[in-house]
Every structure is written in C-alpha cells, then in structure tokens.
Structure 1
Amino acid sequence: MLHDASESDFTSIGPSSSSPNAYYVQSPSRDSNDETDKCSSSNSRSPLDSPSFPRHSRASSSSTAASRISGNRRRWNKHYCDVVAEEDGALDEDYYGDRGYSRQCKWLMLVLAFGLVFAGICLVIWGASRPYKPQSLRVENLYYGEGSDRTGVPTKFLSLNCSATILVYNPATFFGIHVTFPTAHLLYSQITVATAQLKKYYQPKKSRRIMQVSLVGQGIALYGSGMALAASDESGGIPFKLELGIESRGYLVGRLVKTKHTTRVSCSLLIDSQHTKDIIFHSNSCKYT
C-alpha cells in the first residue's frame, strides 16, 4: 500500500551534507622591493596577522588553509629579512673597515714623512757640525829666558810666534755657515803663552777653506812652571797644547731653522827651540769635543 509522501518527508530526505568548502590561495604580487619595505616595517603588524587571533566563521577550514599559507609566507619573509640584514651589515662592515684602513694608512704616511724630514734636518746639521781639522803648526821663533816681573819677582819668561794651519770644510748642500773662533791659544803647563784674534767669516755650501791662525805671545811670565822649561827643551822638546774653539752657524729656510754648533779641538805637540819646523798633526794628535 502506497503512502503519500508529505512535503516534510521530502524535506528530510534532502541532502544532509554541507556545500563544498572554499579554498583561497594567496600568491605573491609584490616584488623584492616590497619585501625590503616589509623588513623595515615588520614590527608594525596588525593583530589580525597574528595566529593568536583565529577567526570563527562558517568557513573555518578555508581560514585555516589561508592561515597556513600566510604563516609560511611570514616565515619566508623573516628568512628574507635576515638575509638582507646580514648583507647590509656585511656591506657596512666593509665600508667602514675600508675607511678605517685608509685612515690608518694616512697616519702612517704622515709619521713616515715627518720622520724623513726630521732625519734630513739632523743629517744636514751633522754635516755642518763636523770637526774641523788642524793640519799643521809652523813655529817662527821661540825664546825663553829669566827676568823679573813688574813687582820685581824673578821668574822665567817665554816669547813665542807661530801660525797654525786649519782646514775648514762645509759639507752642507743647502746652506752656508758663519764661522768664528771664540778661543785660539797655545798653552804651556796650563798657562796661556800665545793667543790669536780671528774675525768671523762666511763659508759657502760644499766648500773648503784653509785658515792661517797666527799665535803670538811676548814676555809671558811662567813663575813656578818655568823651572822645567830648559830641561824639557834639552830632552826633546817643550810640551805645548794647542786649543781651538770653532763655532758655526747655519740658517735653513731663511731664518726659520737655525743651527749652531761649537767644536773644541785640543792638540798636543812638542816644540824644539833649536830646530823650528812645521809640526804635522796626525789623527791621534788631536781630540774633538
């Protein structure tokens, strides 16, 4: 027996399954420049982008799939930002490293240049202050005898006339020197028996000059030192000492840099009053200070 189906039965027999789920795929639509912009604004995200705020709607499965894709994309963006940050840091390190290296090279070159200039000045000053070499001493006459001084005290007297030959050399290549002789005298037993008067003169650069220094002493009282004078003369010669003080001045760059050097020369010699001759000074005969 057939029963009529009511409208409610047809309604209950209808499909019980829901409509098919909708899936949304989000594809990248921006270039790498947009990704770089995202790196700079990654800290300003909206709460909707965070997975901690899920949406509850009828299409829960579609939102879950979209969230999964969005999470993957955010992880890729994070990796991309890390790579960009590392590259930027490497570029900054190379840039500032090159700048620091260049600055160190400049300082090193400046120090080397200053050292070379200072060494050049020292070399020039050393060249201009080299010892001047006495070459010989010619004795014209030497007399000694006994007498009385102005107060009537008996003593021995010495008279001497001689000339010394001195070689003056200026090796400087940039400037000349002004030469003076502050002291030039002949000593016997620490007593000055002859002196010289010399004028200042100018010595050109890289030049040599032979100076004749006249030493003259007349009636020099020796007092107690004259007791051994005759004995020394008979035994080979009277010991004397020639002392010279030579002062040189040089000017570099006008008068901006001035050099001054004083050389003292002391030469020992023996003079025979009976056989006067040129006395040659050897390298070990003189001392320079």
Structure 2
Amino acid sequence: MGVTIHAKSDSEVTSIDASSPPRSPRRALYYVQSPSHSQQHDVEKMSYGSSPFGSPAHHYHCSPIHHSRESSTSRFSASLKNPIRNHQLAVWKRIPRTNDDDPDEDNDDDDDGKSNVMRFYMLCFLLSFIVLFTIFSLILWAASLPYKPKIFVKSMVFENLNVQAGIDGTGVQTDMLTLNSTVRIYYRNPATFFGVHVTATPLELHYYMLKVASGQMKKFYEPRKSKRIVVAVLQGHQIPLYGAIPLLSDAKDRIQSVSVPLNLTFVMRSRAYILGRLVKPKFYVHISCQVTLRGNHLGKHINLTTSGSCK
C-alpha cells in the first residue's frame, strides 16, 4: 500500500487562510496515529527497491517518510507513556469555556446581598423592639390595676326647697319644684407612680323615675398618693311634677314637715397616662346613694359615710 504525501506551498496556505472564515479561539486537540506494521513493511520494501543507492539503511535514514513516521511514532508513544497528561487534556476538552463575569455585576450582587442582610437585621430588631415594648407596657398596665381610686360621697346638703303652682312649656297647669343642693365627694389616688385625670357623668337626683335636680362636676387632675374633697352643685329649677310627688303637693304650704326619698347617681371616671399616652389604665366607679330630703333639715349637712346609704 503506497502512501502519498502532498506538500502545499505558502501561497496555497495563504489563500486558504484568507478565504476561510475566522475561527473561534478554541484549539482543537488532534491525535496522530502511526501506521500499522504491515503498512510500515510495505513502505520499507518500496523504499528499498526504488533506492538508487542500493542501501536500505541509507534510504531509511534519508527518506522523509522515515522522519514523519518517527516523529509521529515518538509523539504517540510519549502520549502513551504520560497518561496523566492525557487525562488533563481530556478534562480540558470536556470543560466548556465561558466568558469571565463582569466585575461590576459581581459588585452589584455583593451590594444586593449586603442590603438584604441589613434589611433582615433591621426587621428582626424592629420586631424584637415591638415585642419587648408590648410586654413592658402590659407589665405596667397590670401593675396599675391594684391602684384603683378610693371614692365615696361624704355628705350632702339641701339648701332650699320651693314648690308652687305654675304652667309648663305646653301650657298645662301643674306644681313646679325648685331645688338647690350641694354634694361633697371624697377622692383619693393611692397610686405610687402615676397621676390620674378625673371626670364624671352628670350627677342626678331622682324621685323614682322623675329627675328633680342635676349637676356637673368639674374635671381635675389628681397627683400620685394624694387626696381631695370635690364639691358639686345640683339644681332643679321649675321642674313640673304632674302630681308625681303628692307629699310635696299636699304640703307645699308647710315644707318643714315633708320627707321625700331621693336617689343620687353618677359615675366617676379616672384615667392615667403612663409612658406618654401609650399605657392608659382606666378606672370607673359607679356610685348610688339613697338620701332623704327633709324639710326641717334644710341647710344642714347629711352625713352619708356613716349611714352606709351609698354603694
């Protein structure tokens, strides 16, 4: 079997390179395989027979085929002797080449990661602060509950009473009642770490369902561990009776002998502000007192603490 070697001139190579499209920077790995033993034997015989010198050894050393075969054989044998290098080449061949990442993108990724971590820590801190502050507020609120204000009606005085005939707003003739009274209320704030703002609903005097007098207590602020006496005025002016209180109608000319049971009701509201306005404990005290209006006790204080008529 003959082997023909074609040599290319520099012009052909230049033209081929100029016409061929540009190649990628990857370098292909080529493996050169040496001819088989039979092919080598045939080439040697052909070279020996055609040698003009008649010396096979001389032809063997001078033939270009010998140099090509020797170089290819040496390369192939060297590759067989160095399996580690072959493995590295194979691994290098299998790994695809990728372009290097943009350093700006890496910096952006790092910044995004840091910002996410900072947001996570800030969220954890905010949630922890809210939980701790809520627990602390609940503790203060629970600690304020035992400090309920001490309130009771100390005394009451009916200053004047007048019953006379009159006409209501619709023109109906009936007896008209005029009444003035004063209520003294004892208030004490036992709290040790907060003051309270105190208000009250209108104080009302009723004869069963008929309201005969009412008044408003002024709001005030009571510091911690302090007390005071609050005075409220109740008045009833030209209240039509429509015969609802026959005792007064029958004895309007002799008021000194009348005795009318009345009911005093109101609600005291106390509110404390702890930590500004964040913790606001509230205390409501409902007060109801049974008091008797006597004509012969006008202008005299009626002690309501000893009688136990208030609850």
Report deviation, 1:222: 1.6
Residues 200-254 of structure 1: CA deviation (Å, up to 9, x unaligned): 2111000001011111111111214122435697776111111121111002222
Instruction: Measure the CA separation in 1 of the matches of 2:181 and 2:286.
Output: 20
Report deviation, 1:192: 1.7
Structure 1 residues without counterparts, runs of 5 or longer: 1-113
Structure-2 residue corresponding to 1:213 = 232
Say which one has the larger Rg.
2
Residues 255-284 of structure 1: CA deviation (Å, up to 9, x unaligned): 221111221101001111233121110362
Structure-1 residue corresponding to 2:279 = 257
Contact 2:189-2:195 at 8 Å conserved across structures: yes
Instruction: Measure the CA separation in 2 of the matches of 1:219 and 1:236.
Output: 18
Instruction: Measure the CA separation in 2 of the matches of 1:235 and 1:148.
Output: 25
Structure 1 segment 232-271 matched on structure 2, within 5 A: 237-271=259-293
How many residue pairs are counted as aligned between the two chains? 172
Contact 2:184-2:230 at 8 Å conserved across structures: yes
Percentage identity across paired residues of the two chains: 37
Instruction: Measure the CA separation in 2 of the matches of 1:193 and 1:148.
Output: 17
Residues 35-88 of structure 1: CA deviation (Å, up to 9, x unaligned): xxxxxxxxxxxxxxxxxxxxxxxxxxxxxxxxxxxxxxxxxxxxxxxxxxxxxx
Structure 2 residues without counterparts, runs of 5 or longer: 1-134
Structure 1 segment 22-37 matched on structure 2, within 5 A: none
Q: 1:138 to 1:230 in 2, by over 3 A?
A: same
What's the secondary structure of 2:218's corresponding residue? coil
Report deviation, 1:130: 3.5
The two structures have a TM-score, normalised by structure 2, of 0.50
What's the secondary structure of 2:144's corresponding residue? helix
Instruction: Measure the CA separation in 2 of the matches of 1:126 and 1:158.
Output: 44
**Matching residue within 145, 150, 171 for 1:125:** 145
Q: 1:239 to 1:123 in 2, by over 3 A?
A: farther
Report deviation, 1:144: 1.6
Instruction: Measure the CA separation in 2 of the matches of 1:254 and 1:118.
Output: 14
What's the secondary structure of 1:199's corresponding residue? coil
Taking only aligned residues, the RMSD between alpha carbons, in angstroms, comes to 2.6
Structure-1 residue corresponding to 2:242 = 223
More strand by share: 1
Instruction: Measure the CA separation in 2 of the matches of 1:180 and 1:172.
Output: 17
The two structures have a TM-score, normalised by structure 1, of 0.54
Report deviation, 1:185: 1.6
